[in-house]
Amino acid sequence: MNLAQLQQAFRRWLVNASDESAQLLGSNHVGLAVYQNNYRAQLVGCLEQAFPNLRRWLGEQAFLAASITHIDNHPPHAWTLDAYPEGFHATLKDVFPQNPDVHELAWIESALNEAFVAADAQPLALEALAELDWDTAVLQLTPSLRCHDLTTNAEAIWSALWQETCAPEAVMLEQAGGLLVWRRQFTSRLRQVDALELQAVQQVQADGSFAGLCEFLVQRLGEDAGVMQAGEYLAAWLGSELIVGVRDV
């Protein structure tokens, strides 16, 4: 057995714990069990750390069962364990197909984790806006921003769990909305928005053009209300450091 074959056998042992791979590795069951245990405990710990509030929401047993299903089906690939929790979302959809609250809670915690270590950006100085030609201005959103549709009260559930107060029961929203997660300096933010603001943010994320944003809002709200809404969003997004750059093209 060469080195590559030995490492493949070790991989099979860790992932499947097959007798055949144990035999190839010399059947030292005590030693093999230590590595098997380290591997699984590390991944369970990684998911627990990434989703503390989802774990509270599901209960320890249900969370652990979903984690084990995930670990069995999705061995890690990336060099960093930070990447491992991303894929948990798909497993949760399989295990809890009828629970959009669970999927949305998982999204919130994943997005907060990503935003925590996303690239830095300086808030925009207001002087940068003074000379700007708004017809051609391109807005740059913070690299930490993550957006997602919201169909349940997952934001309220997450906030209650985070504050360790009594969480409300899961319910569907009367009108679907959206979630924004980003980081201001070193503080991660979560905000629930209505569907219009979510689409407006996604519009700017896609092409950055302020004129494009106005056009989108005018189509939705009419000429005067659309332009006014664009101005209001602009002011709010600047104030909350969602916009970190602006340029003329």
Partner 1 sequence: MSTSNPHFSGYGLGLRKEHYCDFLETSVPVDFVEVISENFMVAGGQPRHILRQVRERYPVALHGVSMSIGTAEGLDTDYLRRLKSLVDEIEPLFVSDHLSWSRSGGFNAHDLLPVPYTDEALDRVCANIHQAQDVLGRTMLFENPSSYLAFEGACMTEWEFITAMARRTGCELLLDVNNVFVSASNHGFDALAFLDGIPAERVRQVHLAGHSQGRDILIDSHDSPVCTGVWELYARAMQRLGPVATMIERDDEIPPLAELLQELSMARTLGAAL
Closest C-alpha to 106, from 150, 45, 165, 143: 150
Token digits of residue 31: 């030693």
- Which residues is 177 bridged to in the sheet? 150, 194
Token digits of residue 146: 């993550």
CB 120 within 8 A of CB 142: no
- Pick from 19, 26, 65, 133 the residue near partner 1 by CB under 8 A: 26
Stretch that binds partner 1, among 25-33, 167-175, 199-207, 222-230 (CB under 8 A): 25-33
According to CB under 8 A, which residues from 78 to 117 bind partner 1? Answer: 78-82, 115-117
Closest C-alpha to 197, from 127, 149, 240: 149
- Give the whole-angstrom CA distance, residue 142 versus residue 242: 5
The smaller minimum CB distance to partner 1, of residues 15 and 167, is found at 15
- Give the whole-angstrom CA distance, residue 3 versus residue 8: 9
Closest C-alpha to 116, from 160, 182, 49, 50: 182
**Is 35 a binder of partner 1 (CB under 8 A)?**
yes
The smaller minimum CB distance to partner 1, of residues 78 and 172, is found at 78
- Give the whole-angstrom CA distance, residue 54 versus residue 170: 13
**Is 122 a binder of partner 1 (CB under 8 A)?**
no
- Pick from 61, 98, 119, 249 the residue near partner 1 by CB under 8 A: 119
Pattern 185-214, partner 1, x by CB under 8 A: -x----------------------------
How many residues interact with partner 1 (rule CB under 8 A)?
A: 42
**Is 19 a binder of partner 1 (CB under 8 A)?**
no
**Is 52 a binder of partner 1 (CB under 8 A)?**
no
Query: Applying CB under 8 A, which residues contact partner 1?
Result: 1-4, 6-8, 10-11, 14-15, 25-26, 28, 30-32, 34-35, 38-39, 42-43, 46, 75-82, 115-120, 143-144, 183, 186
